[in-house]
Chains A and B, each alone.
Chain A
Amino acid sequence: METREKTVEIRNLVKKFGNFTAVNNISFDVYKGEIFGFLGANGAGKTTAIRILCGLSLPTSGEGTVAGFSINNQQEDIKKHIGYMSQRFSLYSDLKVWENIELFGGIYGLDDKQIALKTDSMLKALDLEDSRNMYVRDMPLGWKQKLAFSIAMVHDPQVVFLDEPTGGVDPVTRRNFWEMIYEAASRGVTVFVTTHYMDEAEYCDRVSVMVDGVVEALGAPAELKKLYSAANMDEVFTKIAGRAERE
């Protein structure tokens, strides 16, 4: 395990807002090609931590690297080498499918030829070839999320952050989505994912559970279930997060 390449390395990360400590001294590593589940109750500090890892916010103290760049002073390089997708914002709904791909391809510095190639291969992989001229707002949520995931990977990032990617998605599409995640991980992409579906926590290689700004538990789902003598991750989560003090 230790010989594997680390793509995310976090040491003693702290983030304070005034006298409120949102993230309280967390440390962990994530390895290349790993699916890392980042769980926690609402308000546990997940979003704050992800914002720091994505280079959108500076830590109060502590250090770390994402895709080989420092979260303290190489934020712009981080942004170039990661992909990000959230449930709330992913694509421009008033643009067509191909226009969204072109836009994000352009944003990440792909040239026209690369964009054209990417567009074709992406639409083929998603089976959306007939829908390239469809407005994103007219797509079913499941398709949208799958397209958003592919677009987050348009520049072949080393790490991709997925913030509740499957919220509200139907059960069949949800599973298709996870197959895409697996496929990406098998190509060596590190996947950092948050979810409220506890069955999805089981699909992760390792899972961390944040409670009140602290990483309370970290390990493979099987290990955690054994440790907390629980039948499934739902029980594990309830046992850990149920102790939360703050809301």
Chain B
Amino acid sequence: MDGQTAIKVEGICKSFKETKALQDINLEIKHGEIFGLIGPDGAGKTSLFRILTTLSLADSGKASVNGLDVVDGYAGIRRSIGYMPGHFALYQDLSVEENLNFYATVFGTTVAENYDTIKDIYSQIEMFKDRKARDLSGGMKQKLALCCALVHKPDVLFLDEPTTGVDAVSRKEFWAMLGRIKDSGVTIMVSTPYMDEASLCDRIALILAGKIIDKGTPADIISRYPHRLFAIRGGNMFRILKELKVHEGIIRCSSFGCECHVAVTDNGPDASSLLDILEKSGMQGCRVEAIQAGIEDCFIGLS
């Protein structure tokens, strides 16, 4: 194992009764990168996080964090990682400051000692330090949880769906904070169901139904997209979808906000013939242009 690798996952499998939560997962996460595990709820993200944070045992396969095995070296791992579970897991009846002090002490440190590590985030909620955690807004709770996960200066930070249910603006702020944490040398493994957050990670893995369906840098994954892709703007989205779905040479069309993305085979229709099809069925004024795929196109293509 070389010094570059922070987290290594080899052939991890995990089942709950009949459900195969994880099937043969292999990943390698480098020191100092933001690694995104991207997939919908129920794909197995939390199961994998629990195995890596030593909270749960895999049925088979091996995994290590910072060179320590997740089974044999669990005590060492627990000392060097920070973890933010998917749900808000702080003491609701304790104040902001009390929560932070508690986690600092439990991890054998003090807030003062590591104030630099959390200053950037804590300063945003410090004015509410006497407020009970239950009275905080979603965004502030999230910041407090992040502070608590960071307060002992971990080498590796595990964030399980930190942005689920958070509005678009707060999500952007959160990712900006992650970027600064990464710059201080912390390895971050983060999971998210939002495909648009993929581009903010250094490398990602797409996970669906317990399997990794693709992994690499976002650019790698996009470059592997196998089809030609067109975006159609204007006109009634759901009429366009209905019309094009049945057409030959069209693999798939999906709505993307105000656009409709159409994946076509190599000898399928091009931009002008797509426009023809639409106009023939009475939809005027649409614009069609060839585009590059995004992560969400890739995910849809792979699922």
Residues of A within 8 A of B (CB): 40-43, 87, 138, 140-142, 164, 167-173, 175, 178-179, 182, 196-203, 221-222, 232-234, 237-238, 241-242, 244, 246-247
Contacts and interface: CB of A to CB of B under 8 A. Distances in A.
Contacts, number: 100
A42 B40 contact: no
Interface residues of B, number: 36
Contact of B40 (A168, A179, A202, A242): A168
A87 B40 CA distance: 14
Given A140-B42, A142-B40, A175 B255 contact: yes
A169 B238 contact: no
A41 B167 contact: yes
Given A41-B139, A170-B40, A171-B254, 6 more contacts: A43-B139, A168-B42, A170-B208, A171-B299, A202-B258, A238-B168
30 contacts: A41-B169, A42-B137, A42-B138, A42-B167, A43-B137, A43-B138, A87-B165, A138-B19, A141-B42, A142-B40, A167-B164, A168-B193, A170-B39, A170-B303, A171-B40, A173-B40, A175-B254, A175-B255, A178-B255, A182-B238, A196-B167, A199-B256, A201-B257, A232-B258, A233-B258, A237-B169, A238-B168, A241-B168, A244-B169, A247-B137
A182 B236 CA distance: 11
Contacts of B42: 140-141, 168
B251 interface: no
Nearest to B128: A247
**Minimum-distance CB pairs A-B, first 7:** A170-B40, A168-B41, A199-B257, A202-B257, A42-B138, A247-B137, A202-B258
B300 interface: yes
B41 A141 contact: yes
B140 A247 contact: yes
A79 B165 CA distance: 26
B40 A164 contact: no
A172 B165 contact: no
B25 interface: no
B177 interface: no
A203 B237 contact: yes
B193 A172 contact: no
Contact of B165 (A164, A200, A203, A234): A164
A232 B258 CA distance: 8
Contacts of B257: 198-203, 232-233
B296 interface: yes
Contacts of A198: 168, 257
A200 B195 CA distance: 13
A170 B195 CA distance: 9
Contact of A242 (B161, B169, B254): B169
A238 B172 contact: yes
Contacts of B19: 138
Interface string B135-172: 00111100000000000000000000100111111111
Given A141-B42, A171-B296, A247-B139, A42 B166 contact: yes
A112 B199 CA distance: 52
B238 A179 contact: yes
A153 to B, nearest CB: 18
Nearest to A138: B19
A170 B193 CA distance: 7
A67 B42 CA distance: 36
Contacts of A237: 167-169
Interface in B151-208: 161, 164-172, 193-195, 208
Given A142-B40, A179-B238, A168 B168 contact: no
A246 B138 CA distance: 12
A178 B241 CA distance: 12
B41 A41 contact: no
Interface centre among A42, A178, A221, A242 (most CB of B within 10 A): A42
Contacts of B137: 42-43, 246-247
Contacts of B258: 202, 221-222, 232-233
Nearest to B241: A179
A170 B296 CA distance: 10
Contacts of B256: 199
A207 to B, nearest CB: 12
Contacts of A175: 254-255
Contact of A171 (B41, B140, B195, B241): B195
Interface in B185-244: 193-195, 208, 237-238, 241
B231 to A, nearest CB: 12
A170 B213 CA distance: 13
A242 B161 CA distance: 22
B135 to A, nearest CB: 11
Nearest to A244: B169
Given A42-B138, A199-B256, A247-B140, A171 B165 contact: no
